[in-house]
Structure 1
């Protein structure tokens, strides 16, 4: 009788273990399916957003074929007509346009009441996985600042500001140095002269200067920290800056040499801006 009870208890114990294992396996499968489904939805959303943006770009931007003699050569790749009236009707928060040839960066630039809204909303203010490019809310959105900041996501599909991370590569840096930004009334031609990854609270995130000496010190600092050295843009020739910012996605070190985790690391691409003449 005792042996029967022991065998029965053992069988019951095995069944209980199998039931627990089966339940855990079911939960694990459920979690996996949830994340697969969530990722698939994210991919669908981003692809849909890209299609909508491509459609918008075709509607409001037209590359002009006029040939002019500029510091860029005989053809002006930054020459384009932008339908600002249509953009204003779409969203009055659209303040500018940015275009970097041979990259995917060809977007509107907005400005919100803070620096979080357009991380999660598109150019029509609809909720968005990709967000949209935007000016720092504390600055004038017309490139009149000494150092204008534009922020954007580093997206898994290569959209938004993902291409900025590639500037750490010397060949990519040298092949994509021209940046064009536009407002309703002006166009600025830019030249990339430095790039670095750092903490978001580092000196690289300096938006204003008390005097020209501070600005000179900042430019020299950005050059000294740059992953690629470009010696063809003299500090003295820079009167206006544009800093493009995105997440780096890999660990780095800050100004003091302290480690910065991948989720806190930011890429800064420094551009010398000149008003187009």
Structure 2
């Protein structure tokens, strides 16, 4: 064999090895890409399946525990105090004895949930009302508040879920026009009463904000809290609060940043029997 022919064979051999090596690399890249896609798809499935299961659970709890007086609705009676609805806390306690309340909005109507109080503020972050492991968690009262909502400021936490559930829709209160239409929310308690809370402040704050204070040394400290919450509001509501006020603060995450929160403060303006 001549040197030229031998050289051509060597070139062909090197070219074949490069092609083979390139083919192996391409195959490996394709396999890795498929694995990444499959893993991502599985993770998305887990997320959305979790959303669906959580949403279904809370829908079932509404059907189980919440009763609406249709008669008043048919007669054209406005439910401005939430009393048209009642909650069966005995049924809820059989499922979860940690239940302390039920929260409901006229709008956003999706906020219609049982409220629990755990042993600490992490217990219900990823545990549903029925005790299942799920990122939707449960709406819960600050573990260091009294469960009767008679503290000067009672804090309720809920996740900002990207499927629009839990406390996601509190974001609508960033717009004053929404607050003007739906300025109140309702807290139902096991004593058979419903309390109406008028929203006086809506803000986007850091998670270390003074708005999360729940213990006050004296009236001056509480007055400072009230002023701070009004000052942090995105708009002036004109709702009056004072040292005799009892506040419920609703808190959830935002799209803004990891340590930013949407915080909604309501002052109790009425208490009456539910379902009457």
Q: Same fold (TM over 0.5)?
A: yes
Instruction: Give the Å deviation of 1:183.
Output: 1.2
Q: Which residue of 1 aligns with 2:168?
A: 162
Q: Does 1:276 align with 2:271?
A: yes
Q: For structure 2, which runs of at least 5 residues remain unmatched after alignment? A: 1-5
Corresponding residue pairs, total: 260
Q: Which residue of 1 aligns with 2:143?
A: 137
* Alignment map for 1:222-261 (pairs within 5 Å): 222-231=229-238, 233-236=239-242, 239-250=245-256
Q: Which residue of 1 aligns with 2:207?
A: 200
Instruction: Give the Å deviation of 1:152.
Output: 0.7
**Equivalent pair of 2:183/2:198 in contact (CA under 8 Å):** yes
Q: Which residue of 1 aligns with 2:115?
A: 109
**Equivalent pair of 2:207/2:259 in contact (CA under 8 Å):** yes
Deviates more, 1:44-53 or 1:183-192: 44-53
Q: Does 1:120 align with 2:116?
A: no
C-alpha root-mean-square deviation of aligned residues, in Å? Answer: 2.1
* Alignment map for 1:1-277 (pairs within 5 Å): 1-64=6-69, 75-79=79-83, 80-103=85-108, 104-185=110-191, 186-231=193-238, 233-236=239-242, 239-250=245-256, 262-277=257-272
Deviates more, 1:196-205 or 1:101-110: 196-205
**Hey, what's the Cα distance between the residues in 2 that align with 1:138 and 1:272?**
19
Instruction: Compare CA radii of gyration and give the structure with the larger one.
Output: 2
Q: Give the 3-state SS of the residue equivalent to 2:124 in structure 1.
A: helix
Q: For structure 1, which runs of at least 5 residues remain unmatched after alignment? A: 68-72, 251-261
Q: Give CA deviations for 1:97-154 in whole Å, capped at 9, x if unaligned.
A: 1011121111000011111221111111121231110011111121011110111111
Q: Give CA deviations for 1:2-61 in whole Å, capped at 9, x if unaligned.
A: 453344224313322332233123212221222122212322232232223222212211
Using the size of structure 1 for normalisation, the TM-score is: 0.86
Deviates more, 1:191-200 or 1:47-56: 47-56
**Equivalent pair of 1:220/1:235 in contact (CA under 8 Å):** no
Instruction: Give the Å deviation of 1:238.
Output: 5.9
